[in-house]
Amino acid sequence: MPSEYNNSTNANVAIVIGANRGLGRSTALALAERGVDLIITFRSNRAEAKDLVKMIATLGQKAVAFHLDIGAVDTFLRFAKKVQEALRDHWGAERFCYLVNNTGHVAVGPTAGLTEADFEGLSDVHLKGVFLLTQHLRPLIADGGRIINVSSGLTRFTALGMAASGPMKGALETLTYHMAKELGPRDVTAGTTATDFGSGIIGDNPEMQKDSASITALGRTGQTDDIGKMIAALLVSDADRWVNAPRIEVPGSVKP
């Protein structure tokens, strides 16, 4: 964040949602390597979160972990109070600097086969949850801070069975533009990092890995560290302060 906002009321802390595994975990570790402390969240696997807190400590940084279900919006006020208490008790501060909304799951199937519950579940996590969680945390974000919302390649290309998942990330990207506009007077920037879709599915399926690698210029599938280190670089560097509200692709590129 800009040096003029570095003061005792602002802690050099990032909140990474869904950090116990995958992309969130890689992002948290990459931030710790850059000297950032962490507040991480997990939905179901407390053991993974505790392990990550220990790993962050070995990197010389402080971390605390809280349970959070991004689809349970009625818990957000309580979560924001926990964050406020953690900032005061662990860092003696009032505000944190960085927020990474790393949320999402997929409901795979043709439009004719998906249910209303499937659709609402996607909306609750990808859009409603991000909107309302950020709303609750906004007063705690330091002036000059950063917000990154993790999107998907499904907003720029199609894949069979993803007709409900893709539009949710498209809506998230539109929300990011509006966040950037509203938070601009506080010098808080907001951006979207777009990743390859369904990384968890691809990672568990050798055939899908092969198909995905065949269309990339680098000849391999993207790994969580490829994305996490990029997010950390975007958040911590002051060199891109004039970059606001963009969709930043980290796709490995398709073959020319």
Separation of alpha carbons 161 and 225, rounded Å: 27
Pick the more confident residue, 166 or 48. Answer: 48
What is the residue extent of each domain of the chain? 3-249
* CATH architecture for the domain at 3-249: 3-Layer(aba) Sandwich (3.40)
Average pLDDT for 84-109: 91
pLDDT tens readout for residues 136-172: 999 999 999 999 998 877 777 777 777 888 888 899 9
Distances (CA, A) of 47 to 20, 36, 52, 60, 66: 9, 22, 9, 20, 12
Separation of alpha carbons 251 and 184, rounded Å: 28
Separation of alpha carbons 59 and 50, rounded Å: 15
| pLDDT for the residue numbered 226 | 77
pLDDT tens readout for residues 221-238: 667 777 788 888 888 877
Half-sphere exposure of 190 (CA within 13 A, CB side): 23
Average pLDDT for 36-47: 96
Pick the more confident residue, 63 or 187. Answer: 63
Separation of alpha carbons 5 and 188, rounded Å: 11
Q: Is the pLDDT at 38 greater than 90, yes or no? A: yes
| pLDDT for the residue numbered 110 | 81
pLDDT tens readout for residues 166-213: 888 899 999 999 999 999 999 888 877 766 544 444 555 566 556 666
Q: Is the pLDDT at 242 greater than 70, yes or no? A: no
Q: Is the pLDDT at 64 greater than 90, yes or no? A: yes
Pick the more confident residue, 2 or 189. Answer: 189
What average pLDDT does the chain have?
85
φ and ψ at 225, to 5 degrees?
-65, -30
Q: Is the pLDDT at 4 greater than 80, yes or no? A: no
